Structure 1
Amino acid sequence: MVSGLEQRKYWLDTMLQIGEPVLSALEARKLNERLPIEFHPDRAEYACLEAFGRLVCGMAPWLELEGLQGEEEELRARYERLVLEGIDAAVDPESPDYMNFSGEGQPLVDAAFLAHALIRAPRAIAAQLPDRVRERLIAEFRRTRRTVPFKNNWLLFSAMVEAALDLLGDKDYDRMRIDMALHFHMEWYKGDGMYGDGKDFHWDYYNSFVIQPMLVDLIVRFRQASPVYGEMEKIILARAKRYASVQEHMIAPDGIYPYIGRSITYRFGAFQHLAQASLQHFLEEKIAPAQVRCALTAVIRRIMEAPGTLDEQGWLAPGLYGYQPNLAEGYISVGSLYLCSTVFLPLGLPPEDSFWTDDDARWTSMKIAAGENVGMDFALQGF
């Protein structure tokens, strides 16, 4: 049997295996040169910010973690430095890896994932930026305002950028964009822990890719800004707990999960929300942290062991299990795929947390498949 701490090491090794090509290329100021663009070359102008912003969005809680010892702390310190240098390269107009924050449309999306990384690592990333880099990053975030977000999950991208501007000390951050994103999503709730992507319900993983993780972190950050937000927080968190349980129930005994909806090539990024619920300790009581750890480990292994998930140089390749480019929509570049890193959010928990130390546990589908007499599942009522 593999212990929880051995699983933690596997998670960390896998996250760094995925992230190393991106961050080492940025360190050499050669991400723009090295990042594969043969797949959907028309998206090349966005690919570097996509890869960097999405990768760091998942790595951020681990970078923020204090109290690590030995080799893991040495690794954490190294990758913190690489991320800070990467931000410098991304916002320096003289850098060959200067990234596209100013184009209309897609740059808003990936600036928001980078912004979310700052919210998740305010000490390790945001507070460590030199003044020169911080001012340039503020300027680049402001450039994304030229994009008018669609009336769907994109409202959260605008809101997250403004949250990061506030964190960085920009007194002119636009709280109206945050308020709009929160209130519209309250209107778009469809029931039983699920929001519409706009007014319509879509059967996909966007409640986990974007909607619920950003809603939770926005409302927690700004809950003191308005008495309305305090009440909204209770509702958002109740729904978030239920959706985390739904996500756990969707993982089959062999680590496979339903192929459904768009952006399926973000792979185990589909479970960002379940990972965040574990990181922030808002799982429902019926879901033990160890069963989430074991379930997500099965998901990660199943995908990483599929031949072709990484190319010969270690870059992510399009697909779900291996190289399956026909699964990727036209808006997806190789950079887009790095949203998969968000499954690793629980690495922000210390090694002594029960998520890592409790004995292995069967997840819900395993219990049922083994004939265990589990309790009934209930829809969320009153929220």
Structure 2
Amino acid sequence: MNSTKHRKYWLDTMLQIGNPVLDALSQRKLKERLPTEFHSDRSKFAHLEAFARLACGMAPWLELEGLEGEEEELRARYVILMLECIDAAVDPSSPDYMDFKSEGQPLVDAAFLAHALVRAPKQLAGRLNERVKGYLITALKRTRRTAPSGSNWLLFSAMVEAALYILGDSEYDRMRVGYAIHMFMDWYKGDGIYGDGKDFHWDHYNSFVIQPMLVDVVTLFERDSEQYSALRPLILERAQRYATVLERMIAPDGTYPFIGRSIVYRFGAFQLLSQAALQHFLEDALSPAQVRCALTAVITRTMGFPGTLDEDGWLRPGVYGYQPELAESYINTGSLYLCASVFLPLGLLPSDPFWAGTELKWTAQRIAAGEDVMRDHALSR
């Protein structure tokens, strides 16, 4: 599969995953169609989870300028579709009006929707009409009733405020942003890894949530704070190291460590590696084309298993096919759409080295083939 075919495969796969959500929500029928039998006690949160997590992954592609031809026509069409979906989600008169008010889970997925706005400030945040923008600001502010625990949830609160800032709301809370950033500076454990709170956990939350949100929040606000501007290079250096670790986790056959909670988010475990490619902060020794090939191996292996999608195209819990025992009690069908965060590099033009570079073996593949590969190294700070 050459680089052109890689991009087409990525785009086709992202839209295959996303179309059932976007088609239903744009018609204001997501609550009618989204399967909620799996962990049905969580079903009232499922709709915001599915939409917000999907939007978070699609946003860089929607924001992309300079595309041409068929893909540009497609991108422009999906921008309109996504704006219609935001309207359907936040309009109180909509049958698909989503739950931003309950304590707990709505904060999580309001933050993923907020992250989509931060990732697409022109095409999403900037193109909302005043009516929808007002509804969205009100919805995001409703999540403030949830007091986040000392964990990755602090970044959910910070990201919501980041979106309010992007939307031009003068009442965004700088304290929630600053508290999250400074607490994670205290929770750093070394060699590119943060604790999820004061404790370390063997899981993929450094990539699911912590580092992608931390990088984007500190980048957004560095212009307003000398302190954040000083912290950003350190935060990026740590993110760069963890992105390298993630690339080395991808085995020659495209498998990776299935460790910790929420592994049914599938290739969402590689969000930070995808973000490092998108934002061009991969280590110099790590070729973007190599990362593309590694992530393509992960995606194709996962999507190749029957049962990953149901007969109507909705995601089902598991890593390879339908494996419901792998899902924790807080996970429902909507939760699974965090897998879309692997598609962030679609926000790069086809001419970018990520897409244009010739196929390369990734690190584990080279070592397993007997090649002499430069040894790994730890990050000292």
Q: TM-score, normalised by structure 1?
A: 0.99
**Separation of aligned partners in 1, 2:347 and 2:337:** 18
- Give the superposition deviation at 1:9: 0.3
Task: Tell me the secondary structure at the aligned position of residue 190 of structure 1.
Answer: strand
Q: 1:59 corresponds to which residue?
A: 58
Moved over 6 A (4+): none
Supply the RMSD in Å over aligned alpha carbons: 0.5
Letter paired with 1:33: E
**Separation of aligned partners in 2, 1:295 and 1:86:** 32
Q: 1:187 corresponds to which residue?
A: 186
- Give the superposition deviation at 1:49: 0.3
Letter paired with 1:363: W
Letter paired with 1:280: Q
Letter paired with 2:268: G
Q: How does 1:205-220 map to 2 (within 5 A)?
A: 205-220=204-219
1:98-157: CA deviations, max 9, x gaps? Answer: 000010000000000000000000001000000000011000000000000011000000
Query: Does 2:288 correspond to 1:303?
Result: no
**Separation of aligned partners in 1, 2:256 and 2:174:** 37
- Give the superposition deviation at 1:213: 0.2
Aligned length: 381
**Separation of aligned partners in 2, 1:250 and 1:207:** 14
Q: 2:138 corresponds to which residue?
A: 139
Q: 2:365 corresponds to which residue?
A: 366
Query: Does 2:326 correspond to 1:327?
Result: yes
Q: How does 1:1-383 map to 2 (within 5 A)?
A: 2-381=1-380, 383=381
**Separation of aligned partners in 2, 1:42 and 1:345:** 31
Letter paired with 2:315: L
- Give the superposition deviation at 1:300: 0.1
**Separation of aligned partners in 2, 1:309 and 1:150:** 33
**Separation of aligned partners in 1, 2:94 and 2:346:** 31
Q: TM-score, normalised by structure 2?
A: 0.99
**Separation of aligned partners in 1, 2:2 and 2:330:** 40
- Give the superposition deviation at 1:70: 1.4
**Separation of aligned partners in 2, 1:112 and 1:320:** 24
- Give the superposition deviation at 1:349: 0.1
Letter paired with 1:345: L
**Separation of aligned partners in 2, 1:47 and 1:243:** 30
Letter paired with 1:241: Q
1:190-216: CA deviations, max 9, x gaps? Answer: 000000000000000000000000000
Letter paired with 1:209: F
Task: Tell me the secondary structure at the aligned position of residue 109 of structure 1.
Answer: helix
**Separation of aligned partners in 2, 1:245 and 1:172:** 38
**Separation of aligned partners in 1, 2:49 and 2:316:** 14
- Give the superposition deviation at 1:298: 0.2
Letter paired with 1:223: E
1:72-102: CA deviations, max 9, x gaps? Answer: 1111111111110001001111100000001
Q: Which moved more, 1:222-231 or 1:326-335?
A: 222-231
Structure 1 unaligned regions, length at least 5: none
**Separation of aligned partners in 1, 2:303 and 2:133:** 36
- Give the superposition deviation at 1:372: 0.6
1:301-331: CA deviations, max 9, x gaps? Answer: 0000011000000000000100000000000
1:251-284: CA deviations, max 9, x gaps? Answer: 0000000110000000000000000000000000
Letter paired with 2:148: P
**Separation of aligned partners in 2, 1:226 and 1:262:** 35
Structure 2 unaligned regions, length at least 5: none
Q: Which moved more, 1:95-104 or 1:74-83?
A: 74-83
Q: Which moved more, 1:74-83 or 1:239-248?
A: 74-83
